Amino acid sequence: MEPTTRQFKDNAKEALVDAQLQDALAKLGRGFPLRRLEAAARLPEFEALRDEAREIKNHVLDNLDFYLEAYEAKVVASGGQVHWCKDAEDARRTIAEICQKAGAKTVTKSKSMIGEEISINDYLEDAGITPVETDLGEYIIQLRREPPSHIIAPAIHLSMGQVEETFRESHQDLDPARSLDEPRKLLEEARNKLRTEFLGADVGLTGANMLIAETGSNVLVTNEGNADLTYSLPRVHIVMASLEKIVPTLEDASTILRVLARSATGQDMSVYTTFCTGVRRPEDLDGPDEYHVVLLDNGRSQLIGTEFHEMLRCIRCGACLNHCPVYRSVGGHAYGWVYSGPMGAVLIPGLIGMDEAAELPNASTLCGRCESVCPMRIPLPKMLRAWRQKHYESKRSGALGRWMLGAWAALARRPKLYRRMMGLGVAILGQMGRRHGRFRRLPFAGGWTGGRDLPAPNGDTFVAQWHRGARGDASGDWLRKNPP
Amino acid sequence: MTDARREILGTLRSALNRNQRPPNAARRRLTEHPVNLVPGRGQADPETQVGLFSNEAIRVEATISRIDDMAGVPGAVSKYLVENNLPAEIRVSPSLQGVPWTGQPMLNLTDGIAQGSDSASISRAFGGVAETGTLVFLSGPENPTTLNFVPPIHIAVIAATDIDGDYEAVWARLRAQFGPESADFMPRTVNWITGPSRTADIEQTLLLGAHGPQQLHIIIVDDPET
Ligand code: SF4
C-alpha cells in the first residue's frame, strides 16, 4: 500500500473522535494485556525464557549470512527453492511468475505481514490472479479493501455491525433476508465461502513465523487452521518471509514459541504450530509438489550493525501495540502503513525512509511499557529516541521546533538564567490565573488546553520555594482551594 | 535473482565483519542443536505427565477419553459420536486401519485423503507434550495431513507412552527414529495441535471451529502393543 505516514497527525485526530474505534481499542486494552499477565504467571521460567529468546536471535543476527546459506542448502535438499529478493518489486514479480507458471487462477493466502509489506494482493489481481485471504480477520478487511490495523488481529478496529454490512454487500449470492446478528453466524458464512476456495485453489501462499536453518523448515502459527488448509491442499506452496526470520534449530524455535503466544494472545501455545519442510515425499497422499521460499530483504540487511539492529529480533507478537498508550488511543490505521505501534514506529522509518515516516518516532510518550513486555527485550524507546535524534541532525525537522529546542538547550545550560526566566514566567502566569486558579485557554499551549485546563502556578517555582525553606511544608493550599 | 543473493550476503558480510569472525559457534549449534531452558512444568514421572497432558488439553477445550488397548478404539469412537449426536461416519487414517473396526458395524468408514464433505476423521499422533496439552502429528503415507484439518470433528489417538514432558523430548525422539545423523529426519509436515480451531477476529469474541476442526477428541491408549 502507499504509505500515508506523513499524515500521522491528521489520521490520529480523526481516530480520536471515532467513537466506534475507541470502543474497539478499549476492549483490546482490557483483553490482551490481562491474558498475557495470566499466561506469564503460570510459567515461572517466563522471564528467563525471554532472556534466552533474545540471546538466540542475537546470535542469529551475528551470523545471519552463515545461517541463511545453511538454511537455503536444506531447503534445496528437501526439494524446495529459495528466491532471494532485494525489494518488494522483486518479491511481487517472483511470486506472480511462480503462480503464472503453475497456471494459477486462484491463490489462497494465509495472513502474512510480508504479504502486506509488498502489497502482493494488488499485484496478483493486476496479473489476473485472484488472491483469497483466509484468516477471518484478513478476509474481512480484504473485502473492505483496508490494511490491517494490528499485526495479529487485523480487523480489531471493526464492529460486528460493520462486518455484517460488509458480508451483505460482498455475498450477494446469499439470501438477503438471512440473519447475521451474532459472531457465530458471521463466522459460519465466512467458513462456508472459504471452504470452496481452499478446495479449488492452485497455489497456497503463506508467511512464516520462523525459518529453521537446521532443517530448512518454515514455521507457521495460527489459531484458525487456515494456514494448514492453505499449504496442504493446493499443488504449489509459496512461503513469503523476510530474512531475519531465521532461527538455528528446532530447539531454538521451541524456545521462541514458548514466549510468542504468551506475549501475543496470552495462550500458552497457539492452536496450530506447523513445520513445513520441502515438497511432499514420494509416498505421501497429500501435500504440495512445489515448495518456494520468497526471501525478502527490503532494507533489513542495511539495519544490521546500526542502532536499529536489535529491531530485527522482533517476532511480531503485537505485545508492544497492546500495551502502548498511543496505539491504544489512535489504533493501527493512523500510523499510515502496514505496521503500527512502537514496533512500527521503529521499523517503518527503517524500511521506507525517515523522510516518509518522520512523524512516527514522535508518536510515543517513551513510557517504556513496550520494552517491558517485549518477549525479545527490544529496546524500543531507545530506538525511537535514536530516530528523533537522526531526524534532528538531518536538519529536516521544522524550523520553529528546531529554534525552540535550540533556545531551550541554551537556557538549560545556564542554570542562573534558567531559574530567573522560569521565576518570571511562573510569576506572570500566577498573576494571570489568580482568579480561577486555572486556564481554559492559553496562547502557544492550545495543544494542552484543547483537551483540559492548565492549573495556574501559585506564583513561585519549586526551586525558589525550596530555598525559602518550604521543604516539608507542603501546605496543600492550592489543592484545598482546587480539589481535583 | 542470483545477483540479489550475492548483494544481500555481501551487505551482511561487510556489516558483520565476517572476515574477522568465522562462524564457528553457529556451525556447532547446527550440528549439536543444544537444548535450551526447559520449563519445570512438564518434568515428572510418566503417569503424572499423562495427567498433566490431559488437564492442559482440557484447558484448551479438547476432550479426553482413556482406554486400555488399541482394540478399544472403535468402541470409543462410536461412543463419542453417539454421545455428541454426530453422524456415524469417519475417515480413518491408514495408521489406524489395523484396529478391529468390524466390532462396530454401524460405523461407516472411509479412507484416503480428506474431502470437503467429511464430517469426522481419526488419525494417530506421534507424540504428546504434557507442558501444554499439545499433540504432534507427522505427515506421511500413514498419516495424510489433511485429515487433521478438513473435517469439523477430529479424533486423535495417542499412546500413553508417547506422551513426553516437553517439545524437546519429542524432537529428540523424532531425530532418533528417522535420522540420527540429523539429515532428512523431518517429514514434509509436522503439526503441533493444541486444542480445537478458534478465532477471536470478530469483536474479540472467542469462537471455536474457525477453519480447522470445531471439536478435538483425544483417545489415550495405555497399552498400544496389545
Ligand atoms: S517489538 Fe517486541 S513486543 Fe513488539 S511485536 Fe516485536 S517482538 Fe512483539
> Looking at beta carbons, which residues of chain B come within 8 Å of A56?
36
Calpha distance A216→A275 (Å, rounded): 10
CB contact burial B120-146 (16+ within 10 A = b; e otherwise): bbbbbbbbbbbbbbbbbbbbbebbbbb
The pLDDT tens digits for A343-373 are 999 999 989 888 888 889 998 899 999 999 9
**pLDDT at position A472, please?**
54
B85 and B25 together in one domain: no
**Which structural domain range is residue B95 located in?**
44-223
Among residues of chain A, what percentage have pLDDT more than 70? 96
Find the A346 Cα to ligand 1 centroid distance in Å. Answer: 11
Q: What is the CATH number of the domain that holds B53?
A: 3.40.50.10420
Minimum Cα–Cα distance from A268: chain B residue: B132
Confidence of residue A462 (pLDDT cuts 50, 70, 90): confident
Last residue of a domain, one of A300, A330, A363: A300
| C-alpha separations of B64 from A98, A203, A212, A396, B48 in Å | 44, 36, 33, 63, 16
Question: What distance lies between CA A422 and its chain's CA centroid?
Answer: 41
Domain-embedded: residue B218: yes
| Confidence (pLDDT) at A167 | 95
The pLDDT mean for chain A works out to 90
Query: ∠ CA B197-B60-B54 to the nearest 5 degrees?
Result: 125
State the total domains in chain A.
Answer: 2
Distance CA A189, CA A176 (A): 13
Do residues B131 and B54 both lie within one domain?
A: yes
Q: How much is the mean pLDDT over chain B?
A: 93
> Considering only CA atoms, which of B34, B35, B53 is closest in space to residue B45?
B53
Give a yes or no: residue A219 inside a domain: yes
B150 inside domain:
yes
Is B217 within a domain? Answer: yes
Ligand 1 pocket, mutate which of A315, A346, A372 (most atoms under 8 A from CB): A315
The reply to whether A334 falls in a domain is no
Same-domain pairing of B60 and B161: yes
Pocket test for ligand 1, best of A317, A370, A371 (most atoms within 8 A of CB): A317
Angle, helices B2-15 vs A64-77, to 10°: value is: 150
Shared-domain flag, residues B88 and B11: no
Q: Is there a domain that residue A470 lies in?
A: yes
Q: B29 to chain A nearest CA, in Å?
A: 7
Of A356, A417, A404, the closest CA to residue A8 belongs to A356
Q: What is the mean pLDDT of residues A231-257?
A: 97
Residue B211 to residues A110, A159, A197, Cα–Cα distance (Å): 11, 21, 12
**A454 belongs to a structural domain:** yes
Q: Is residue B39 part of a domain?
A: no
d(CA B41, CA B162): 18
Inside any domain, residue A398: no
Which tops the pLDDT comparison, A449 or B56?
Answer: B56
Task: Quick: pLDDT tens for B131-177.
Answer: 999 999 999 999 999 999 999 999 999 999 999 999 999 999 999 98
Q: Coil, strand, or helix at residue A177?
A: coil
Same domain, A61 and A199: yes
How many angstroms separate the alpha carbon of residue B122 from the centre of ligand 1?
Answer: 38
Say if residue B146 is in the same domain as residue B178.
Answer: yes
- Structural domain count of chain B: 2
Q: Are B20 and B108 part of one and the same domain?
A: no
The answer to whether residue A34 is domain-embedded is no
Last residue of a domain, one of A238, A273, A300: A300
Residue A25 domain-assigned (yes or no): no
- What confidence category does residue A478 fall into, taking pLDDT thresholds of 50, 70 and 90? low
Q: Which of A300, A320, A341 is the last residue of a domain?
A: A300
Domain hosting residue A467, numbered range: 415-481
Provide the whole-model pTM. 0.90
Nearest CA in chain B to A155: B201
Chain A residue with Cα closest to B26? A63
3-state secondary structure of B110: strand
Q: Are residues B136 and B71 in the same domain?
A: yes
Average pLDDT over residues A385-409: 82
Closest residue to atom 4 of ligand 1, CA basis: A320
Using an 8 Å CB-CB cutoff, list chain A residues near B8: 68, 84, 86, 243, 297, 301
